[in-house]
Amino acid sequence: DAMVIQNPRYQVTQFGKPVTLSCSQTLNHNVMYWYQQKSSQAPKLLFHYYDKDFNNEADTPDNFQSRRPNTSFCFLDIRSPGLGDAAMYLCATFQRGAGAQYFGPGTRLLVL
């Protein structure tokens, strides 16, 4: 029944060691998002895809990259994680023109 799936649920990496988080969806939604959420804060949009069109937020660091090879999958690459990148990373989907966003369970990233 899971509609938005994120793997892994917990990720531990070392300072500066690249890490990739993955998201898949069974909803066939045309928009996919990556958010970063830190404790007691609202989710912060990093970027999103409308189909293959990539939309980067102006304040998203260059350290964060994304790929969407097909409708179902989207990846978040953190090229050189810093201690400040420790957070929950949420993937969400949306069908343009209708409804609300649906979130995956998130990946909690710890940087040592």
Partner 1 sequence: RKEVEQDPGPFNVPEGATVAFNCTYSNSASQSFFWYRQDCRKEPKLLMSVYSSGNEDGRFTAQLNRASQYISLLIRDSKLSDSATYLCVVNSNFGNEKLTFGTGTRLTIIP
Binding site for partner 1 (CB under 8 A): 31, 33, 40-43, 45, 48, 50, 88, 90, 94, 96-97, 99-106, 108
Which of 7/41 has CB closer to partner 1? 41
Q: Do the Cβ atoms of 73 and 24 come closer than 8 Å? A: yes
Which of 41/63 has CB closer to partner 1? 41
Considering the complex, what minimum distance in angstroms separates the CB of residue 31 from partner 1?
A: 4
Which of 81/104 has CB closer to partner 1? 104
Q: Do the Cβ atoms of 31 and 96 come closer than 8 Å? A: yes
Considering the complex, what minimum distance in angstroms separates the CB of residue 93 from partner 1?
A: 10
Residues ≥6 apart with Cβ < 8 Å to 38: 44, 87, 88
Bridging pattern class, strands 10-13 and 107-111: parallel
Considering the complex, what minimum distance in angstroms separates the CB of residue 48 from partner 1?
A: 6
Tell me the H-state helices in the chain. Answer: none
Amino acid at 96: R
